[in-house]
Structure formats: structure tokens, C-alpha cells
Amino acid sequence: MKVKYLVNKKTKEFGEILVLSENYYDLYTSDKPTTSINLSVNFEEYKKYVKDNYDDQIDLTDYEIKEFDLIEFGEVGADIRNKLSSQKNLVCLLERYFDDENEVDKDVLKAFIEKEMEQSKISIDYIANLL
């Protein structure tokens, strides 16, 4: 699932607007995210919303909205495990292909190997960009 947070461009801290009293608001930062921003909102819309609702008390000059992947604990491991299936299949197929004691149709195995190679490339790219 995707989430958006207000992030300081320089310090990388997460920002949150807090209502301190009826007419006073302030921007607080934290090293951990607290309140997410609607996914459909872009930064210009958000700046306009803040200006319209918080009487120019909050300066967002050093901030931007960044989108993050929200991943449930343990889910990444399962996802990586699933993506490694094609590499495991490829190794098994190559072992069979190069095993001189097994009488197998090398042309048939070669077609399966090529298919698993393509899937392995996709999976490796996915895993490389996951973390």
C-alpha cells in the first residue's frame, strides 16, 4: 500500500501540523512518520490547503510530499521468497541440463531454461528495487 508524508528536504524528518489552540498551529517534526496525507493530493494542493486553513502560520518552504510503500511486517520476506522461485527453478533446470548421467531432451530443457531466465531477470529487478 502506498502512503504520502510531509518530509523536510534537508533533514529528511517527517512533518506534522498540530493544532495547539483555536487560532494557533505549528509544524512539528519527527524521525518517524505520524500522520499520512491523502494519496490523491499533490504538494501544490497541500500548500494551498495549509495556507487557506492555517492563516500563513506554517512555512512549508523546506518540505515536500513523498510517497512511501507501507509494508506489513514479515510481508517483504514472503514477497522475496516468492520472487526467488524462478531462480531456484533455473538452477534445477541447469543442473539437469549439465548432468551427463541423465538422459534428457536438451532442446526441451533449453526452452524451459530460457523461460526461467526471462522470469529471473524480472524478479531480480523487482528485488533490487524493493529495498
- Domain segments of the chain as ranges: 2-69, 75-130
pTM: 0.52
- Mean of pLDDT values over 63-85: 81
What CA–CA distance (Å, rounded) separates 48 from 7? 17
Q: Please provide the average confidence, as pLDDT, over all residues in the chain.
A: 85
Residue partners of 121: CB distance under 8 A and separation at least 6: none
β-strands 2-8, 14-21 pairing: antiparallel
User: Which position has the higher pLDDT, 69 or 124?
Assistant: 124
Please determine, for residue 74, whether its predicted confidence score (pLDDT) is greater than 70. no
